[in-house]
A and B are shown apart, each in its own frame.
Chain A
């Protein structure tokens, strides 16, 4: 009997599966693994933290996987809070210890991918404490605005992930120059405010004493 390979994508964005950049990027890698005959499954971390039964089945799914892909948005230089709580449970219960391998994708709003460095270091500390082997991590900037390039860069990483070897850094150019991002982004916030019928000026200071 040949042991089947199982990969699990953990989506660590509150926007969840089908609605987040984290899901879109993680799915590029997951789909590439699927086409290499790896069994794949997806889980939303925030949904798992919503109830004890959801958490239990999520932890069981991780226990059954040999490869975990954690894909999340950068939140204040780190992980969204529920992801921290979830990873702490994995460590406490020794889920996948000495067996699971992890690859991490962190993407941030700002165009500079280097801004993910602290969060990638946190992810690597988690892997060490969980006893998971670290396949590597990739940080992306302004990935919300990059589609084709990112897909072309991430999909080939599946080979190393499937083989359980260190994943090379993908070659990716910046989504756009930082000045253009800042200029376009400022325009975009104003348009979004109009669309949402903002109740106040975007520069309001409701907590001024």
Chain B
């Protein structure tokens, strides 16, 4: 089983959480690839929908965003690791999530009574969201968890799990619980 960690940190703020995730994933038998997104040149989505109607399944921008989208399509477990930013994900992570829509189909589907898209691939990865906050913030935590769950609906993932940690949190326990939740 392959896990892909998208590291959306700007510096070292997610370092300890990343180490804890690494251990929890290894214990659960995953082979883990980490992509430090700040080191990758990935242009923002242009909103052209070329990935749906021109070069179906692939973004029209030929940069490292394509390789990340490919890795996402092939992994079993996708992990968002990110500083919680206004309750959402960081710019570094979001630049990749916006470029992930080639991996879903343009065609619509009804999911839990709402409009979403059909899957493009037979298999879609499970999703874990681990958000880092410098201090406890109930509302930011609520928004972050909702966001990960809502993303799961759009990506048509079989299941999601999300948590937010602060410097006081037990990182090892949180990481293990997240990995277990999507087993």
Considering the chains assembled together, what is the distance between the CA atoms of A123 and B50 in angstroms? 28
Cβ-defined contact, A84 with B107, below 8 A: no
Which of A35-43, A63-71, A181-189 interfaces with chain B?
A181-189
Cβ-defined contact, B44 with A46, below 8 A: yes
Return B100 CB to nearest CB of chain A, in Å.
Answer: 7
A residues 61-82 with Cβ under 8 Å of B? 73, 75-82
Considering the chains assembled together, what is the distance between the CA atoms of A13 and B44 in angstroms? 11
Cβ-defined contact, B56 with A203, below 8 A: yes
Cβ-defined contact, A207 with B57, below 8 A: yes
Considering the chains assembled together, what is the distance between the CA atoms of A38 and B109 in angstroms? 44
Which chain B residue shows the least CB distance to A206? B57
Question: B49 on the interface (CB 8 Å rule)?
Answer: yes
Return A8 CB to nearest CB of chain B, in Å.
Answer: 19
Knowing A78-B94, A84-B88, A208-B121 touch, does A198 contact B47 (C-beta < 8 A)?
Answer: no
Across the interface, which residues of B come within 8 angstroms of A178, CB to CB?
Answer: 110, 114-115
Across the interface, which residues of B come within 8 angstroms of A200, CB to CB?
Answer: 55-57
Cβ-defined contact, B54 with A110, below 8 A: no
Across the interface, which residues of B come within 8 angstroms of A196, CB to CB?
Answer: 50, 53-54
Interface core residue of A118, A126, A179, A203 (most chain B CB under 10 Å):
A118
Cβ-defined contact, B90 with A84, below 8 A: yes
Across the interface, which residues of A come within 8 angstroms of B91, CB to CB?
Answer: 81-82, 84-85, 88
Which chain B residue shows the least CB distance to A85? B91
Knowing A14-B46, A85-B91, A200-B57 touch, does A207 contact B146 (C-beta < 8 A)?
Answer: no
Across the interface, which residues of B come within 8 angstroms of A20, CB to CB?
Answer: 47
Cβ-defined contact, B86 with A198, below 8 A: no
Q: Which B residues lie at the A interface, using CB under 8 A?
A: 44-47, 49-50, 52-58, 69-70, 73-74, 85-91, 94-95, 97-98, 100-101, 103, 105-110, 114-116, 120-121, 139-140, 143, 146-147, 150-151, 154
| New A-B pairs, 4, CB < 8 Å, besides A77-B150, A193-B53, A193-B54 | A112-B114, A121-B146, A122-B143, A192-B49
